[in-house]
Amino acid sequence: MKASRKIIWRVIAGMIAAFSLIGVILFVANGFVGNPISSAIAKSAIERHIAAQYPELDNEFVSRSL
């Protein structure tokens, strides 16, 4: 009985450690490469704002990545 509880706690601790490690890796990767969904939303909002505020300008939006 004690051995099975010990194994269950080890499995639970391993799963928590694995999810924590995956979360840290994803957080660091997001810091380096950014979030493409937020980037697309921001680009769309910027284009709409500039088109609404400055209709007399002929704007061409160029995407640049490093």
Q: Does the residue 58 lie in any domain?
A: no
Q: pLDDT: is 64 or 5 the higher one? A: 5
CA angle, residues 23, 29, 32, in degrees to nearest 5: 150
Residue 38 in domain: yes
Residue 9: inside a domain: yes
Give per-residue burial for 12-29: e unless 16+ CB within 10 Å, then b: eeeeeeeeeeeeeeeeee
pLDDT for the residue 34: 82
Both structure tokens of 40: 């697309």
Q: What is the mean pLDDT of residues 50-54?
A: 89
Number of domains forming the structure of the chain: 1
Work out the average pLDDT over 14-38.
92
Residue 16: its pLDDT value, please?
A: 98
pLDDT band, residue 2 (cuts 50/70/90): confident
CA distance 65 to 36: 11
Cα 41 to chain center, whole Å?
Answer: 13
Question: CA end-to-end span of the chain, whole Å?
Answer: 58
pTM for the full predicted model:
0.54
